[in-house]
Amino acid sequence: MSPRRVVVVGSSGAVGRELLALLAARGVPPDRVVALRRRAADGAVPLDGFPFAPDDLALFCAGAEVSRREVPRALAAGARVIDLSSAFRRDETVPLVVPEVNGDALDGADRLVAGPNCTATLLCVALAPLERAFGLERVVVATYQAVSGAGARAIDELRRQTRAALDDAPLRPEVFPEPIAFNVFSHESALDPATGRNDEEEKVIRETRRLLGRPDLPIACTCMRVPVERAHTEAVDVTLRRPASEDEVRAVLGAAPGISLVDDRAAARFPTPRLAGGRDDVLVGRIRRSTGDPAGIQLVVCGDQLRKGAATNALAIMDRWPPAAPPADAPGPPA
């Protein structure tokens, strides 16, 4: 049974706009899609007081503060919720799901599912086949993250600053702590002075462990922000539990769901943000042996942060999630 309505909360943001475009591309009738934002504009409905219904599926992409306030209201009305913010990712009672990685977690899900951090999502799509086939002993990852992860205003800032830089005009950061045009810097999330890790790195480590079902997996992570619009790149070095050849690794990754292998050494063709942009799969390539480590494999992962990192993953959850009956005391749909 499909939901009577798909409600997109945060429809004016980068992920919200992507969700609406993907739903339209799927042929979902416009009268079954409700676009919510804080203020009514551009055909959107205001969020405040919106009457959620028991047979709604609500896709929340408006940030953790809005989710913490509005998700309980949607659940109380009997709606099912896929939340793409960080609001519920640390709640062990709420499934954290990437269908290609741990889709079976949806079988016991009630009415709330969380989508992971986009960087962890892309990473785990590539790591999960290796974990299943060979086991993982250790993961080291450096990420080069597109500005879209910071929202639509960050994309505008990159474009504006790039034009200004080419004109030798002043660069005035508003979204980021320093200019993003022609620059690379550590991810802008809060830094823990005790560990030296920022919040993005902690999320990637914590959520990767949870998605893979490996709570003690050693992971080292460095997250950087780069002047790219919407596709993240990750350089990954793994130690396998059972050593495998490069060809064995290629065969496993090439057959895995959600992955496209881009690994042509002769043509020097490997994953790039431009290749990954606008695609729903994760590109994996540059597969090679780690120097001096018979169980070590290096690879590059690239994926569209707005699509597979968020919107496409939400729709994949929607497709995979068996619908549950609404609670007996839930109100009916609005007239």
Q: Are residues 80 and 206 in the same domain?
A: no
CATH number, domain of 43, equals: 3.40.50.720
Q: Is residue 28 part of a domain?
A: yes
Q: Where are the beta strands (DSSP E) in the chain?
A: 5-9, 33-37, 45-46, 56-60, 80-83, 112-114, 136-145, 185-186, 219-225, 231-240, 259-261, 282-289, 296-304
At residue 42, does pLDDT exceed 80? no
Q: Are residues 172 and 247 in the same domain?
A: yes
Predicted local confidence at residue 250, as pLDDT: 97
Q: Which of 61, 187, 232, 302 is catalytic?
A: 232
335 in any annotated domain: no
Q: For residue 115, give the 3-state DSSP assignment.
A: coil
179 belongs to a structural domain: yes
Same domain, 76 and 159: no
Do 61 and 132 sit in the same domain of this protein?
Answer: no
DSSP secondary structure letter of residue 307: I
Closest CA to 79 of 90, 69, 70: 70
Any residues with CB less than 8 A from the CB of 314 and at least 6 apart, and which? 19, 59, 61, 82, 84, 115
Boundaries of domain holding 139? 119-304
Do 221 and 160 share a structural domain? yes
State the CB neighbour count (10 A cutoff) for residue 21: 13
Question: What DSSP character marks residue 227?
Answer: S
Is 118 known to be catalytic?
yes
User: Are 203 and 279 members of one domain?
Assistant: yes
**Is residue 173 located within the same domain as residue 48?**
no
Look at residue 211 and tell me if it is in a domain: yes
Q: Express as a percent the part of the chain with pLDDT over 90.
A: 89
Q: How far apart are CA 145 and CA 230, in angstroms?
A: 8
Identify the band that residue 144 occupies on the pLDDT scale cut at 50, 70 and 90.
very high
* Chain position carrying tokens 């799969």: 281
Tell me, what CATH number does 157's domain have?
3.30.360.10
Higher-confidence residue of 75 and 330: namely: 75
DSSP 3-state percent helix, strand, coil across the chain (nearest 5): 35, 25, 45
β-pair type (112-114, 136-145): unpaired
CA–CA distance, 115 with 311 (Å, rounded to integer):
9
| CA 39 from centre of chain | 26
Q: Looking at residue 45, what is its pLDDT?
A: 83
Specify the higher pLDDT residue, 39 or 202. Answer: 202
Residue 187 a catalytic site member: no
Residue 199: pLDDT over 70 = yes
Overall domain count for the chain: 2
- Mean pLDDT confidence for 3-25: 94
Residue 334 pLDDT class (50, 70, 90 cuts): very low
51 has a pLDDT exceeding 80: yes
Catalytic residue among 61, 118, 124, 223: 118
pLDDT at 335 over 60: no
Question: Which pTM does this prediction carry?
Answer: 0.93
